[in-house]
């Protein structure tokens, strides 16, 4: 497939948190930028250009993504839209997954009816995460809804739940919530492969995770809790979001390079 107008929607996953690049908007690269670079190279090989917009904002739950980003995307008239959401929703113990899926279904229907090919994502399996293992059941149910919605609307699905074989410590940022550059590159490759787009991306070599003693692991866990878990809990208690005051990094179509 060749595309000329690509819009990426979502939360921190699509904004690129965990894959820093000071030279880029919001100081982030991420899998969507990496995917857009490959799509631009593909278009250039055929004598065309790619316009790329990224409306994703960290911390957004799925209803906010739909309310704030879907109409804005449709107004741009894209022929390709990627959307990832739900991760911040399933973290909450009180979430109506059926209602969430119904609103997601309606949003994907509008994107598809607007003429865009849609790429959707399931949420990665949290079974290997000691802290996030408690949301595994909610995640599995939400993912089954995502598969059904993608099939209904002819969307391309990147099924991260079924992406096995990677070591969590090698693909995750130090906050243990977001992908690092290795992980973002892997998702870009998976998205392009799912679309059937020829590309030259190759997996990045991970930095081997250190082997820690039980005492060292406890110390590392405590340091992580102070630096990352405590601020997350404080935001939940005070009703704030990591995305407060953050603007979309690419609100209009721009070339990428």
Give me the CATH number covering residue 18.
3.40.50.1110
* Count of all residues that appear for the chain in the document: 257
What is the band of 43 on the pLDDT scale with cuts at 50, 70, 90?
very high
84: buried, middle or exposed (CB in 10 Å: 19+, 13-18, 0-12)? buried
Query: Is the pLDDT reported for residue 128 higher than 70?
Result: no
Closest CA to 9 of 123, 121, 173: 121
Say if pTM beats, i.e. exceeds, 0.85.
yes
Where in the sequence is the domain holding 122, given as residue range(s)? 5-254
What is the mean pLDDT of the segment spanning 168-175? 80
Which two three-digit tokens encode residue 16? 């690129």
Q: Give yes or no for a contact between 170 and 132, defined as CB atoms under 8 angstroms apart.
A: no
Q: Residue 148's CB: how many other CB atoms inside 10 A?
A: 12
**Phi, psi angles (nearest 5°) of residue 158:** -105, 105
Which two three-digit tokens encode residue 199? 């590309």
What is the band of 116 on the pLDDT scale with cuts at 50, 70, 90?
very high
Task: Return the ∠ at Cα 181 (arms to 180 and 186), rounded to 5°.
Answer: 100
Query: Is the pLDDT reported for residue 239 higher than 80?
Result: no
What is the band of 237 on the pLDDT scale with cuts at 50, 70, 90?
low
Residues 104, 105, 109, 112, CA torsion sign: positive
Q: How many domains does the chain have?
A: 1
């Amino acid at each position: 497939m060749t595309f000329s107008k690509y819009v990426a929607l979502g939360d921190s996953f699509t904004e690129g948190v965990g894959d820093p690049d000071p030279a880029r908007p919001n100081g982030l690269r991420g899998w969507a930028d990496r995917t857009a670079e490959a799509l631009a190279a593909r278009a250039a090989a055929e004598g065309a250009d790619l316009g790329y917009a990224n409306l994703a904002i960290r911390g957004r739950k799925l209803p906010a993504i739909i309310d704030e980003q879907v109409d804005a995307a449709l107004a741009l008239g894209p022929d390709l839209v990627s959307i990832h959401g739900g991760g911040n929703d399933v973290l909450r113990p009180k979430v109506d997954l059926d209602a969430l899926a119904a609103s997601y279904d309606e949003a994907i229907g509008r994107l598809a009816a607007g003429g865009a090919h849609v790429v959707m994502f399931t949420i990665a399996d949290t079974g290997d995460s000691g802290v996030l293992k408690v949301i595994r059941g909610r995640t599995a149910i939400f993912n089954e809804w995502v598969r059904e919605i993608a099939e209904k609307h002819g969307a391309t699905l990147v099924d991260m739940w079924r992406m096995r074989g990677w070591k969590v410590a090698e693909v995750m940022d130090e906050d243990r919530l977001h992908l690092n550059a290795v992980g973002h590159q892997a998702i870009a490759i998976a998205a392009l492969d799912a679309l059937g787009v020829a590309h030259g991306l190759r997996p990045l070599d991970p930095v081997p995770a250190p082997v820690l003693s039980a005492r060292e692991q406890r110390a590392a866990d405590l340091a992580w809790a102070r630096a990352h878990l405590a601020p997350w809990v404080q935001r939940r208690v005070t009703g704030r979001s990591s995305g407060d005051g953050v603007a979309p990094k690419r609100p209009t179509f721009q070339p990428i390079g």
